[in-house]
Structure 1
Amino acid sequence: MNIRPATALDAAPICAIYNPYVANTAISFEEAPVSEEDMARRIADVGAAGLPWLVLEADGRIAGYAYATKWRVRPAYRTSVESSIYLDPAFAGRGLGRQLYGALLDELRRRELHMVIGGIALPNENSVALHEKLGFRKVAHFSEVGMKFGRWMDVGYWELKLGS
């Protein structure tokens, strides 16, 4: 297993992981597949914002990725980020998600960020469990804020303070 920064060359395997979540689940609220070009642009934008985008390699391929984006654009929010993590379902149940997310959190601490916020489309027991194992605590629940597949979706927010 290897965790490293993502590059534009990772866009295709990242799309291969992400687009089935878009097409088949309400985990992502996107409704159309993301192109490789758009994904490469997203990776570049995260890097340009001074934030990490990591990929986890296992069994010779990318098994998952995690990244952080700005929580809000106003300057006072500059030390708060929102995190995202996606794992290829073929690699689920092996503890890789926890290792990848842990690496992202370590990187955010190195960058002296203060707060990480994880938004989770509900229900999603696996994501809730992962966040809570890593020390996140639930701080908000918004009901019926998204609609996907013809049904209303709730979103919960979990936070983790990284430092003082």
Structure 2
Amino acid sequence: MAWHPTMTTIRPACPLDAARICAIYNHYVDGTTISFEEAPVSAADMAARIADVIDGGLPWLVLTDGDAIIGYAYATKWRARPAYRHAVESTIYLDAALAGQGHGMRLYASLLDALRTRGLHTVIAGIAQPNARSVRLHERLGFAKVAHFSEVGFKLGMWLDVGYWQMRLTPG
């Protein structure tokens, strides 16, 4: 599937998008270490996740090519305690067949803009290692690596590291 920039749009997600979002996400759940989930997510569970993010006042965006959802990005609270209310964790997934074509940059930039309009101060991204493509995307957008945890996940018969990248959304 080739990218046609004039045909792609970014819009807010809704729970009705859950099945297509699952189709994108479950590819990463089933056969990669990019997601630490170990079982595919159902459309009903994904719809609940989308609703929770939206009900929490945070953005969940989808990138569409015509009527087809080809990627999504969203933010969740970083931690529950009140002092963390200005920090969020970001997530982005693209249809695997479309990676490396500029979609991630455009979608992520829209997510960051949506976070800035909400007055948030910092965004944090956890990236399972190794994942050079995701690291490159985050660093091109202005994220900097701030932490690395060794062997904190176990999936597909191996111990996995997670690195954390952070970006300030507002002057500090």
**TM-score grouping bracket, smaller chain normalisation:** over 0.9
- Once the 2 structures are TM-superposed, how far is the Cα of residue 40 of structure 1 from its aligned partner? 0.2
Long gaps (5+) in structure 2: 1-7
Q: Is residue 2:141 matched to residue 1:120?
A: no
Matches of 1:31 and 1:89 in 2, distance apart? 18
Partner in structure 1 of residue 4 of structure 2: none
Matches of 2:33 and 2:72 in 1, distance apart? 18
TM-score if structure 1 supplies the norm length? Answer: 0.98
AA of the residue aligned to 2:136 = A
Q: Is residue 2:161 matched to residue 1:154?
A: yes
Partner in structure 1 of residue 26 of structure 2: 19
Q: Secondary structure at the match of 2:30?
A: helix
Partner in structure 1 of residue 15 of structure 2: 8
Percent identical residues: 68
Matches within 5 A, 1:37-52: 37-52=44-59
Matches of 2:29 and 2:167 in 1, distance apart? 26
Kindly provide the CA deviation profile for residues 97-143 of structure 1, in whole angstroms up to 9, marking residues without a partner as x. Answer: 10000000000000010000000000000000000000000000000
Q: 2:136 aligns with which of 105, 129, 145?
A: 129
Q: 2:115 aligns with which of 100, 108, 114?
A: 108
Q: Secondary structure at the match of 2:39?
A: coil
Kindly provide the CA deviation profile for residues 38-71 of structure 1, in whole angstroms up to 9, marking residues without a partner as x. Answer: 0000000001111000000015410100000000
Q: Secondary structure at the match of 1:112?
A: coil
Structure 1 runs (4+) greater than 4 angstroms displaced: none
AA of the residue aligned to 2:59 = P
Partner in structure 1 of residue 3 of structure 2: none
- Once the 2 structures are TM-superposed, how far is the Cα of residue 89 of structure 1 from its aligned partner? 1.3
Partner in structure 2 of residue 77 of structure 1: 84
Long gaps (5+) in structure 1: none
Q: Secondary structure at the match of 2:166?
A: strand
TM-score if structure 2 supplies the norm length? Answer: 0.94
AA of the residue aligned to 1:37 = A
